[in-house]
Structure 1
Amino acid sequence: MANVGNKRSVILGVVGLLLVAFGAVLVFLVPVIMKQQVEKNVRIDPSSGFAYEMWRDLPVPFYMSMYIFEVMNPKEVLLGEKPRLEERGPYVYRERKQKVNITFHDNSTVSFVETRTFQFDPEKSAGREEDYLVVPNILLMVSAQMSKDLSFAVKILLNAAYVMYDQKAFMNRTVKEILWGYSDPFLDLINTLLPGKLPFKGKFGLFADFNNSNTGIFTVNTGVEDISKVQMVDTWNGLTEVV
């Protein structure tokens, strides 16, 4: 019986020592493994697989909710009454960000262009893109404000254009046109008479240049050689600083 007890004690002692040794190894080994895995998944490297795919084409959905105030009494407003507004929306759009034209360089940097597109989400929206709303004619308001500093001759041309293109204080447009733009010959005329004065060309809308747009050419550090520099911007459109 004594021998059996001694054997058990020896076995338990050995097992205990092994557990202590294993625990000591884990204390030093786990942080190293975790650090390696974090660096592998954070740095920009095509060999990292899923992490690189997530960086290139972010799967997390982003949503933009838009509310538009419709003018319910446009005729009365022109007669001097206060506008009566009603909120429409939300009109929800899903934003997708994707990096294209990806080029890796020898100095541990990568260049890319990030595009953004917006797609209407009818399930999350409280209306349709085809809803017609009465809103102020922003293009008319902007041109009228700009005309204050123009020559008398140009003012005459603009006033004639208001009549020619039937420009009114309020317009009845779809949500899609209001947000993402619509073609207007009056806009073409303004850009001809006053080149460079308006940020809109071709179409006029609150976010006409926002959809299917890009952020320019970014060059950032991949973190392959120095993980502390990962995602640090090296240049933007070839510039090291923006004034």
Structure 2
Amino acid sequence: MPKPNIQIESSSQMFDKWKKMPVPLDFKIYVFNVTNRDEINNGEQPKLAEVGPYVYKEYREKTILGYGPNDTVKYMLKKKFHFAANESGSLSEDDDVIVINLSYMAALLAVNDMMPSLVGMANEALGEFFFNLTDPFLHVKVKDLFFNGIYLNCESENFTLALICGKIKADMPPTMRPSEDEKGFYFSMFSHLNRTDTGPYEMIRGTDNVYDLGHIVSYKGKKVMNQWGDKYCGMLNGSDSTIFPPINPNDVPKRLYSFEPDICRSLYASLVGKRNIFNISSYYYEISESALAAKSAVPANKCFCRKLVSNTYI
């Protein structure tokens, strides 16, 4: 394909495909189902069963906000997810699973951050916050855990519960959304991906140098993500994973990077080797263990290993 056809320019063949991906991505979710809930409550070790993948089709579409200096384009990215029943085999969104109650744990952390002395009173309040709360586990349908949401009640005169709900309202973590009657919240792991655009991204178009195509220059106006407290871990490397520059056969990169705003960092896929796909010679990359390895295995990852994690990410 001639280079002008892959640059982000309204006259190029790639432009419309870049704005709206013609083929969806596969988004696969695995759940670790707790199989011995009662035994854990009596002090035994957890036993988990991996369930999955639940396969969703991820559609991506961009809205261009404008063009900037240094060959850049600014845009918002919209994702939509649809359950692919035929590719999920015997699995269904109506499946019941038992998982750690993430919002329960986050609520305890919120109370501990605000007033540690109230942690002992938190369970009484959380009994009103959640329905049928008996332990730190959640018995839930997959569709509610992933996208539909689990209702959390805030209609109470309990002081501790008022603190918890006030903290959620002030922070409004992406996994929470207000209920229609504004008397509570819904917690879900991924519904925010369907509800809101991400960005703005600022990306190099590749019209000056095609080998810079797709590189993310800034996200939400920031050139470094400050969540990690480290310039190295906060670097914006690579593209948004929807487009990559052509590969120079004389200088094949050992890694391809993409920036993932959901985890506030860039990831890389390592070169495995050459492959033939539909009789087309190509380079095959996959995410290696080193990309997400512990700092003991990969010292360069040490700034990703934070001891304290803000409950705003729950």
Output the TM-score relative to the length of structure 1: 0.69
Equivalent residue, structure 1, for 2:133: 167
Match of 1:28 in 2: none
Supply the AA of the counterpart residue of 2:115. S
CA distance in 1, matches of 2:207, 2:47: 59
Q: After the TM superposition, which of the residue ranges 124-133 and 63-72 deviates more from structure 2? A: 63-72
Match of 1:185? 153
Gaps of 5+ in 2: 156-160, 178-185, 227-314
Structure 1 residue corresponding to 2:78, chosen from 115, 121, 137: 115
Q: Quick check: 1:191–1:198 contact (8 Å CA) kept in 2? A: no
The structural deviation recorded for 1:92 is: 0.7
In 1: Cα distance, 2:173 partner to 2:218 partner? 28
How far apart are the structure 2 equivalents of 1:128 and 1:77?
Answer: 27
* Partners of 1:84 and 1:138 in 2: CA distance: 18
Equivalents in 2 of 1:39, 1:94: separation in Å? 30
Question: CA offsets per residue over residues 133-179 of structure 1, 9 Å max, x none?
Answer: 22222222233344445436643652321233442322221111112
- Give the aligned CA root-mean-square deviation in angstroms: 3.2
SS at 1:176 equivalent: helix
> Against the structure 1 CA distance between its residues 44 and 173, is the aligned structure 2 distance closer, same or farther, given a 3 Å change threshold?
same
Work out whether 1:97 is the aligned partner of 2:60. Answer: yes
Aligned to 2:99: 135
How do 1:144-223 and structure 2 match up within 5 A? Answer: 144-151=108-115, 154-155=118-119, 158-165=122-129, 166-169=132-135, 170-180=137-147, 181-185=149-153, 189=162, 190-193=164-167, 195-196=170-171, 200-202=175-177, 203-223=186-206
Cα deviation for residue 186 of structure 1 reads 5.5
- Flag structure 1 segments of 5+ consecutive residues without an equivalent: 1-36
Q: Deviations over 1:53-112 (max 9, x none)?
A: 111112243212212122233223322334343332221111112111353458743221
Q: Deviations over 1:170-193 (max 9, x none)?
A: 222111111233231259852315
TM-score normalised by the chain length of structure 2: 0.55
Task: Give the match for residue 229 of structure 2.
Answer: none
Q: Kindly provide the amino acid, as one letter, of the partner of residue 143 in structure 2.
A: K
Distance apart, 1:46 and its partner CA: 1.5
68-77 or 170-179, which deviates more? 68-77
Count of residues paired in the alignment: 206
Higher RCO (C-alpha under 8 Å, 6+ residues apart) = 1
What are the superposed Cα offsets for residues 110-130 of structure 1, whole Å, 9 maximum, x if unpaired?
Answer: 221111222111011031111
Q: Name the CA distance, whole Å, in 2 between partners of 1:119 and 1:150.
A: 39
Which residue of structure 2 aligns with residue 11 of structure 1?
none
Q: Distance in 2 between matches of 1:199 and 1:61?
A: 23
CA distance in 2, matches of 1:177, 1:240: 35
**Distance in 1, Cα, partners of 2:69 & 2:107:** 50
**Tell me, what secondary structure is at the counterpart of 1:144?**
helix
